[in-house]
Amino acid sequence: MVEEKIKQAVDVLSKCNYVIALSGAGISTESGIPDFRSPVSGLWSNADPEDFTIERFRVYPQALYQVGADLFQIITGAQPNEAHKALGELENKGLIKTVITQNIDALHQKGDSRNVLEIHGSLNGASCIHCSHEEPMEKILQDVQEAIIPPRCIECGEPMKPNVILFGEAMPPAFQLALNESRKADGMLVVGSSLVVSPANMLPDYVDNLVIVNRESTPLDDSAQVVVHGSLSDIMPYLKDEWISRQAS
Ligand code: NAD
């Protein structure tokens, strides 16, 4: 049954000329990073989204580090799984042109994807909210371990903020590039996203052929040509092999 759905997905994708991927937190759960909205294991089952807003960070930056420190530690140590690697291989074969990701974990790059647009930023480092001085995340996490919370700028003493978009912040320039890619594409493969976070969930609207691979249903399932439900680390290697062999024949 799932195999049949995957073949239908490849039928759609292999007829497109310019396919892009849009990934969400679900692609990284099998690398040990919790997503936001999965029942029980999702972050929102245990944390308050308010602590991830820019308004809260401006008045009480400690909260982001107190609540997020464990997650930041997990993310910086995580390794790509079979689903990230499958996308990397598909890009290397020319079948996927760009990966647009809502993730901040840089696992696509570690999984060999090269053309990655990080529309919510990356946890690769942190910047001073006053003078923009940057530090690598390892230094920030070391401060946190030494109970220096929030970590402060060595130049001006203001709090350091991870290079990610908090709720309430403007989107980075990568989002405009993602919009351009979505307008250019005729196929989109969504992997591991609940598709409830705006404006990322507007991107599929620009693309004619939509395939969604996700464990749970999404609000855009009715707009998709094919929806495959299941675990990404099972589905993506199979989908990748099927698509590559279809291209070769
Ligand atoms: P989400 O948490 O809203 O949804 C994740 C979806 O993935 C869920 O629908 C779930 O059913 C599905 N899923 C989980 N594990 C799966 C698996 N192994 N196989 C198939 N499907 C699976 O995530 P979202 O849509 O990306 O939006 C939430 C926000 O979370 C994004 O803005 C992102 O920046 C942020 N976030 C990122 C990370 C990360 O970088 N890894 C982690 C947590 C949250």
Can you give the CATH number for the domain in which 45 is found?
A: 3.30.1600.10
Q: Which residues pair with 191 in a beta bridge?
A: 23, 213
Q: Residue 42's pLDDT is what?
A: 72
Of 36, 75, 123, 197, best ligand 1 pocket probe by most atoms within 8 Å of the beta carbon: 36
Q: Residue 195's pLDDT is what?
A: 97
Q: Which residue, 101, 129, 164, sits at the end of a domain? A: 164
Quick one: angle between helices 82-92 and 232-248, nearest 10? Answer: 20
Which residues have a catalytic role annotated? 120
178: domain CATH number?
3.40.50.1220
Q: Residue 35's pLDDT is what?
A: 84
Residues having CB closer than 6 A to ligand 1 are 24-26, 28-30, 33, 35-38, 42-43, 102-105, 120, 192-194, 196-197, 214-216, 231-232
Euclidean distance between CA atoms 239 and 247, whole angstroms: 12
Same domain, 28 and 141: no
Ligand 1, atom nearest to 33 Cα: 41
Token duo for residue 168: 């309430």
Same domain, 242 and 190: yes
Euclidean distance between CA atoms 165 and 43, whole angstroms: 17
Q: Residue 84's pLDDT is what?
A: 98
Same domain, 58 and 136: yes
Token duo for residue 39: 């029942």
130 backbone dihedrals φ, ψ, rounded to 5°: -100, -55
Please give the sequence-ordered ranges of beta strands (E in DSSP) within the chain, or none if there are none. 19-23, 98-101, 116-118, 121-128, 134-136, 160-164, 187-191, 209-214, 226-229
Count of CB atoms within 10 A of residue 178's CB? 26
**pTM, two decimal places:** 0.95
146 backbone dihedrals φ, ψ, rounded to 5°: -90, 15
Please list, in sequence order, all residues whose beta carbon lies within 8 angstroms of the beta carbon of residue 238, skipping any fewer than 6 positions away: 3, 6
Least Cα distance to 64 among 123, 135, 12, 112 occurs for 123
Same domain, 128 and 180: no
Rounded distance from Cα 214 to ligand 1 centre (Å): 9
Smallest CA separation from ligand 1 atom 26, residue:
24
Same domain, 51 and 148: yes
With b meaning 16 or more CB within 10 Å and e meaning fewer, what string describes 142-174? ebbeeeebbbebeeeeebbbbbbbbeeeeebeb
pLDDT in tens, the chain (249 residues): 699 999 999 999 999 999 999 999 999 999 999 888 777 667 777 778 888 999 999 999 999 999 888 899 999 999 999 999 999 999 999 999 999 999 999 999 999 999 999 999 999 999 999 999 999 999 999 999 999 999 999 999 999 999 999 999 999 999 999 999 999 999 999 999 999 999 999 999 999 999 999 999 999 999 999 999 999 999 999 999 999 999 877
Rounded distance from Cα 42 to ligand 1 centre (Å): 8
109 backbone dihedrals φ, ψ, rounded to 5°: -65, -40
Pairing of strands 116-118, 121-128: unpaired
Rounded distance from Cα 127 to ligand 1 centre (Å): 25
Rounded distance from Cα 84 to ligand 1 centre (Å): 14
Same domain, 214 and 95: yes
Q: Which range marks the domain in which residue 64 is found?
A: 35-77+121-164
Same domain, 157 and 130: yes
Same domain, 222 and 177: yes
Same domain, 146 and 242: no
Q: Residue 40's pLDDT is what?
A: 66
Please list, in sequence order, all residues whose beta carbon lies within 8 angstroms of the beta carbon of residue 160, skipping any fewer than 6 positions away: 126, 127, 128, 129, 135, 140, 150, 151, 152, 153
Same domain, 26 and 43: no
Look at the chain and report how many structural domains it folds into.
2
Q: Which residue, 164, 197, 218, sits at the end of a domain? A: 164
Could you please report the per-residue DSSP string of 118-169? ETTEEEEEEEETTT--EEEHHHHHHHHHTT-SS-B-TTT-PBEEEEEPPBTS
Same domain, 90 and 198: yes
Euclidean distance between CA atoms 125 and 139, whole angstroms: 9
Count of CB atoms within 10 A of residue 45's CB? 12
Q: Residue 152's pLDDT is what?
A: 97
Q: Which residue, 100, 135, 164, sits at the end of a domain? A: 164
Same domain, 3 and 66: no
